[in-house]
Amino acid sequence: MSAPEATHPLAAVATPGLRGAAGVAPLRVSLPVRETVQVMVRRGREEAFAAAMEASFGMAPPAPGHTLAGGAVTAIWIQPGGFMLTGAGPGLAERAALAFVGLAAVEDQSHGRTTITVSGPAARAVLARGCRLDLHTRAFGPGRAAMTQIAHIGCLLHQVDDAPSFELTVFSTLAEPFFHWLVEAGSGDGVVIA
């Protein structure tokens, strides 16, 4: 028996097309299906954890407020000794659990977290309408991440590239109101949902 195909929790409400004005540089929104794994390093095991991370994922743990990518996996710093691993393929939780035995607590959060990607010239301005962080390019660029609130909803904000593109990860139960806020906040320039 095969596993069911992964479906994004917003697939029913985030139908493709243009929302709001037909601006020249609309906000682009996509709904990647991501495996999300939370890792909490055990006290006193930081050096061994870093070695295991390098051996298993080809990267060191990211510095505070930063991300690192190794192959198909991205590691995002979320707090001292805490990281979120994300990837598009299956098996990330099992791989992390095997890599970090005795070094860290590993919990698959894929079922409880939803990722939304926003990109385009309007992305910073739209996010700034609901976020207190300084998202200017001098303060927040590619490879930066923060746990923050956007529109009063807890969010893991991660800038992916210079487009700019951001991955926004929220609790799945709050994904729909977050998505509706995002569309409303971007409607002046237009929002294209892929």
Sequence ranges of the domains in the chain: 17-33+111-193, 38-108
Between β-strands 191-193 and 27-30, what pairing exists: parallel, antiparallel or unpaired? parallel
The predicted pLDDT at position 22 comes to 84
| Tens digits of pLDDT across the chain (194 residues) | 455 666 778 989 999 999 998 888 899 999 998 999 999 999 999 999 999 999 999 999 999 999 999 889 999 999 999 999 999 878 999 999 999 999 999 999 999 999 999 999 999 999 999 999 999 999 999 999 999 999 999 999 999 999 999 999 999 999 999 999 999 999 998 999 99
CA distance 132 to 148: 8
pTM above 0.95, yes or no: no
The predicted pLDDT at position 6 comes to 64
Contacts of 64 (CB under 8 A, 6+ apart): 77, 80
Bridge partners of 145, per DSSP, are 158
Report the topology of domain 17-33+111-193: Gyrase A; domain 2 (3.30.1360)
